[in-house]
Amino acid sequence: MENRSSRINDIFPILLFLVFTLSALGIVMVSVQIYQKILKQSEQSYDMEIAVAYVTEKFRSHDSLGSIGTTEFAGNNALILTDTVLDETYVTIIYAHGGYLRELYVEESQLAGCNGDSGTAILEMNDFKVEKPSDTLFHLTFTDKAGGSMDTSLSVMSKEVAKDEV
């Protein structure tokens, strides 16, 4: 009988150690999965915030009545920003196409020859929508590749300057 209880006394610490090791391994595996999920969500949120900041900065750099508008470009809803340089009109079009938020900067007369792939890919983005509820207010909706969305509203702060005031 002493042999039998001696075996149990010898095996018990080993079994206890195995249970502890398997429990610790399970906790680590669950923690890794949770960390990966949080990291993925953080990256998606960061990309959306970068996209919003980028478009907001472009919007602010063209902040005057008549320089900012909405348009359809290559079948996509787009934000159009207009510049005049040495009597030539240039447009910047920001739109979503092919899974990316894109920007196209081109002379207005050459715009007809451009397609959805002509713009420079900025960030992965499923969709970008621009609405203009009033003359000075724009509502932008960004949709990332996972289907999450972020909205922002921007307003033109500058007033249009009459040509005789310049």
pLDDT in tens, 105-158: 999 888 888 888 888 899 888 889 999 988 888 999 999 888 888 899 998 887
4 pLDDT exceeds 80?
no
Q: Are 59 and 154 in contact (CB under 8 A)?
A: yes
Match 């929508």 to its residue by tokens: 129
Residue 3: the pLDDT is 62
% of the chain surpassing 70 pLDDT: 91
The residue ranking higher by pLDDT, 1 or 17, is 17
- CB neighbour list of residue 143: distance below 8 Å, 6 or more residues apart: 96, 125, 126, 127, 128, 129, 149
Q: Taking Cα atoms as reference points, which of 73, 63, 67, 45 lies closest to residue 144?
A: 45
Which single residue is written with the structure tokens 């921007």? 154
In the structure, what pLDDT confidence band is assigned to residue 21 with cuts at 50, 70 and 90?
A: very high
> What DSSP line would sit under 60-90, residue for residue?
HHT-STTTEEEEEETTEEEEEEEEEETTEEE
d(CA 123, CA 130): 17
| Domain segments of the chain as ranges | 41-165
Give the pLDDT band (50/70/90) at residue 79: very high
Give residue-wise pLDDT tens across range 86-108.
888 899 999 999 889 999 999 98
Average pLDDT over residues 47-59: 89
